[in-house]
Structures are given as C-alpha cells and as structure tokens.
Amino acid sequence: MSGVEQRRSRTTEAQRNEDRERTAARLLRSSAEKFYDPDVDIAWDAPWVEGKAWLPEERISLYGTKLWDQLTPEQRIELGKHELVSLLSFGIWAEAVLSGILLRVVGHGPATSAHSLYALTEIADEARHSTMFARLIEKTGVPAYRQPAVSRLLERVVQLMPIGPATYGGTLLIEEVLDRGQRQAMADPGVQPHVRQLMRIHVLEEARHISYARAEMRRGLEKRNALRRAPHRAALAGFAVVVYPLMITPRVYRSVGISPARGFAAAMRSPQYRINMTFMSEPMLRYFAEVGMYDGAVTKFLWKLTRSVPAELAAK
Ligand SMILES: [Fe+2]
Ligand SMILES: [Fe+2]
C-alpha cells in the first residue's frame, strides 16, 4: 500500500473538511495581517537606475549561447527587459485563468466557509498583482506581449476541467515556478529596485496561495483512488508541456535584432535551458512526488519533455 493510500484510509471526509477549514482560516488571518498595496509600496515616481539589469543574467533565455556572446552589454540588458515584460504579461494572463478557477470554488460553496472566503481573498490578491504587473510594464515603455492563440485554447480546457488535483497542480505550476525565479531576482542587487520590490510583494503574498493549492491538491489526491488520480496527474504533466514555453515569447528576440525562430532554437538547444527549468521547478516537483502527483509512466514521460525534472527524480 502506498503512502498516499495509507493516509487516505486513515482520513475521513469530515476530517478532510476540518483540515481544509483550518488551512483557510490560518491563511485568512495571515492575509489580514500581511498584505501590500502596490500603489504605495512601490516608488513608482522614482526613475529606473541606469545600468541595472531586469532579470539575473543567467536566467535570460539566451545566456550561455553563441548568440549571447555576440550581444553587447546594452543589448543583454535590453533583452532582459523584454523577457521580464514577457513574463509579466504571461503572469497577468495566468492570474486571470487562476482567478477563474477560484471563482468556481466560491460558486461551489458553502458560501460562508473559510475555504470560499479565502478563495475570494486570493482573487483580490491576484487583481492587485496583475495591476502591479501592468503598471511595471507601462513604466518600462515596452508594450505588453499578447498571449498566443494556444493560450485561448488552454483557457477553454481549464474552464471545462473539474476542480481537483489537476487544477490546483496547474495553479502551483505557475505560482511555484515564478516564485522560485522571483526569490532569486529580488535578492539580486544588480536588478532594478522597482522590479525587486514587485517581486518581494509577489513572493510574500503568493506564499499563501501556494500553501492553499498544495494542501488542497494533497487532500484531493487522498480522497481519490489510483484510477481517479491518474488522469489528474497526466493532465497536469500535459499542461506543463504546453505552459512552460509560453512564459518567454520568442518575439522578445526582435528587441536585439535576432529573429524569433533563430532565438527560440538557440534557447531551446542551450544546456542552460534545462538548468533554468530544473531550478524553477525543483521544489514543486519534489512536492508532487511526495504526494503522488509525479507517478506513472505517462506522467513521467510528459514531465521529461519539459526538461525540468531534477536528476534524482528522473532516475526514479
Ligand atoms: Fe499573483
Ligand atoms: Fe497566486
């Protein structure tokens, strides 16, 4: 009997509901105590700092490639700016999709449960975040990048999916991957102060979202048998295959005179791609493995395609 099955047999539905309410009540208290108002907590009127980067260098998609070697220091900074704008544009889209899932959680009720009320609180957080992302994009002077057609398709699929481990896993996929990158960037003194502050705010508030989605995914897995868990695992892995490449649009390469196709091919071939993807995904994938969300041949095959699986998990 697997660890997940043993836990499931011990835990009744009533206990799970109690546990869910406890988690939500704790997160509601934390939300009331610690939150930011990006309108005042970022010094929007202060100018950019000349010569500072927009992202840590090694996280820029062309880092380590021949094309990177040919870029001037100014072009590298410029590409970093466009990649940041691409990430923030993706972030706004992703937060809208995630908020759609949370609205459904509220709709399913019970309306006054801590679980529903926390979902509403999280929607409010995401609304502030997306406003903050948009404001930072505007300040860079680079137009926001529009999401490609495949994103529309993905939105439809998510709307049709039942709320469960796959939807919470999809939430984590975006929140944890961005969180990991942001924690590094906010600690980097070489990065623009506005960007670091934005990331600090986002990391603090997203920590609650990650706790909520992680706990809910674990509970969702515990109450399903092996047969019912399998489609959730595979759907999440498939989602990762499609979503990862959406974060940085190949259109960013035009900013430094490189065609999108050439830049994309170089970034994909670069050994740095795996290093970055693994760095961003590591804590999340370890959690997935711990709760039984990284399991089964199809799931593992799909995750392998993302090139984000840490070596010790890939060897399992
Ligand atoms: Fe957010
Ligand atoms: Fe979030």
| Model pLDDT, residue 8 | 55
Question: For residue 128, which ligand has an atom nearest its CA?
Answer: 1
In this prediction, residues 13-31 reach a mean pLDDT of 89
Report how far ligand 2's centroid is from the alpha carbon of 61 (Å): 24
Residues 144-171 have a mean pLDDT of 95
Distance 167 CA to ligand 2 centre (A): 13
pLDDT at 14: 85
More confident residue, 104 or 2: 104
pLDDT of residue 5: 58
From the CA of 38, the nearest ligand is 1
Q: Tell me: the pLDDT tens digits for 48-66?
A: 999 999 999 999 999 999 9
The pLDDT value recorded for residue 3 is 62
Per residue in 112-156, pLDDT tens?
999 999 999 999 999 999 999 999 999 999 999 999 999 999 999
Ligand whose nearest atom lies closest to the CA of 93: 1
* CA 200/CA 41 separation, integer angstroms: 10
Alpha-carbon dihedral sign for residues 48, 85, 133, 201: negative
Q: What is the mean pLDDT of the segment spanning 220-234?
A: 95
> 69-118 pLDDT, tens per residue?
999 999 999 999 999 999 999 999 999 999 999 999 999 989 899 999 99
In angstroms, what is the span from residue 132 Cα to ligand 2's centroid? Answer: 13
Residues 6+ away with beta carbon under 8 Å from 56: 184, 185, 188, 190, 191
Angle between helix 149-160 and helix 226-243 axes, rounded to 10 deg: 160
Q: Of the bound ligands, which one is closest to the alpha carbon of residue 182?
A: 1
Q: What pLDDT shows up at residue 308?
A: 96
The domain segmentation of the chain, as residue ranges, is 16-35+64-314
Before 110, cis peptide (omega within 30)? yes
Number of residues in the chain: 316
pLDDT at 226 over 80: yes
- Spatial distance between the Cα atoms of 270 and 307, rounded to a whole number of angstroms: 12
pLDDT at 211: 96
Residue 190 has pLDDT above 90, yes or no: yes
Q: Tell me the DSSP string of 49-66.
A: PTT-BSS-GGGSTTTTSH
Mean pLDDT computed over every residue of the chain: 94
Q: How far is the CA of 204 from the centre of ligand 1 (A)?
A: 10
Whether pTM > 0.85 for this model: the answer is: yes
Higher-pLDDT residue of 8 and 201 is 201
Residue 233's pLDDT is what? 97
Percent of the chain whose pLDDT exceeds 90: 88
At residue 40, the pLDDT reads: 85
What is the per-residue pLDDT for 7? 59
Range in 13-22, 133-142, 185-194, 305-314 the model is least confident about:
13-22
35-39, 89-93, 169-173: least confident range: 35-39
**Do residues 239 and 231 make contact, with C-beta atoms less than 8 angstroms apart?**
no
Residue 152 has a CB neighbour count (10 Å cut-off) of: 9
Q: 98 C-alpha to center of ligand 1: Å? A: 9
6 CA to centre of ligand 1 in angstroms: 34
Report CA(254)–ligand 2 centroid distance (Å). 30
238-275 pLDDT per residue, tens: 999 999 999 999 999 999 999 999 999 999 999 999 99
302 CA to centre of ligand 2 in angstroms:
25
Within 10 angstroms of residue 251's Cβ, the number of other Cβ atoms is 15
- Ligand 1: centre distance to CA 60 (Å): 21
Report which residue type is found at 124.
Answer: A
Q: What is the pLDDT of residue 210?
A: 97
Question: Which one of 23-27, 300-304, 309-313 scores highest in mean pLDDT?
Answer: 300-304
Q: How far is the CA of 95 from the centre of ligand 2 (A)?
A: 7
CATH number belonging to the domain at 16-35+64-314, selected among 1.20.1250.20, 1.10.600.10, 3.40.50.970, 1.10.620.20: 1.10.620.20
Extract long-range pairs of 212-215: CB within 8 Å, 24+ residues apart. 212/23, 212/24, 212/27, 212/118, 212/122, 213/168, 213/169, 213/171, 213/172, 213/175, 214/168, 214/172, 214/287, 215/19, 215/20, 215/23
Q: How far is the CA of 14 from the centre of ligand 1 (A)?
A: 31
